[in-house]
Amino acid sequence: MSVEQTNVVDAIGIERDSDRAILTITDHLPFGGRDEERLLLLQDKLNAYLAFIESGELLQAYPDACGRKVTVDIVFKHEPIGPALAFLERAQQVMASAGIPLIWRSFSPEPNENEPEDRGA
């Protein structure tokens, strides 16, 4: 699943530390270039997640979420920049007003085989 499939929930699970139900969006697309189109996809995906939660469909699809607080987590392959950060901050406010925290993080690509690893001198 990915951000390009706007009507699909990418992943659902229970976070052990917080006991929250976490709905994850995976976003592998690079930033730069056609960010407007890409952010519209992300907006559609977030709206679909919000509808999925608010309609009760989450509890039907994943009964373990019953009685738990819900968080939406976006996992980016590439670090968000520029307009994407502004979008995420606005989206975070909108989701918070619905009582659903929005968090995001990014994973850096694996180190290049030709570059020495920093092993903490």
Mean pLDDT of the chain: 86
* 11-14 and 102-106 beta bridge pairing: unpaired
- Dump the DSSP string for 4-70: T-TTS--EEEE-TTT--EEEEEEE-PPSSSSHHHHHHHHHHHHHHHHHHHHTTHHHHH-GGGTTS-E
Q: What is the mean pLDDT of residues 100-119?
A: 66
Tell me the pTM: 0.84
Domain boundary assignment for the chain = 11-106
The per-residue pLDDT for 60 is: 96
Specify the fold of 11-106: Transcription Regulator spoIIAA (3.30.750)
pLDDT over 90 at 119, yes or no: no
> Which residues partner with 103 through β-bridges?
73
**Residue 108 has which token pair?**
């850096």
* Of the candidate ranges 39-53, 74-88, 102-116, the one whose mean pLDDT is the lowest: 102-116
The predicted structure's pLDDT at residue 1: 64
Mean pLDDT of 13-39: 89
C-beta contacts of 57-63 below 8 A and 24+ residues apart? 58/12, 58/21, 58/23, 61/9, 61/12, 62/12, 62/21
